[in-house]
Chain A
Amino acid sequence: SQTIHQWPATLVQPVGSPLSLECTVEGTSNPNLYWYRQAAGRGLQLLFYSVGIGQISSEVPQNLSASRPQDRQFILSSKKLLLSDSGFYLCARDTYYGYTFGSGTRLTVV
Chain B
Amino acid sequence: GDSVTQMEGPVTLSEEAFLTINCTYTATGYPSLFWYVQYPGEGLQLLLKATKADDKGSNKGFEATYRKETTSFHLEKGSVQVSDSAVYFCALSDRYRGGSQGNLIFGKGTKLSVKP
User: Which of A's residues lie within 8 Å of B, judged by CB?
Assistant: 6, 32, 34, 36, 41-44, 46, 49, 51, 57, 59, 90, 92, 94, 97-104
Contact = CB atoms under 8 A, between A and B. Distances in A.
Contacts, number: 57
Given A43-B109, A44-B109, A99 B104 contact: yes
B108 interface: yes
B23 to A, nearest CB: 12
Contact of A43 (B45, B89, B99): B89
Interface of B: 34, 36, 42-46, 49, 89, 93, 99-109
A99 B45 CA distance: 8
**At the interface, is chain A mostly helix, strand, loop or mixed?**
strand
Contacts of B43: 6, 90, 101-104
Contact of A46 (B44, B46, B104): B104
Contacts of A42: 108
B44 A90 contact: yes
A34 B46 CA distance: 16
B46 A51 contact: no
Given A44-B89, A90-B44, A97 B49 contact: yes
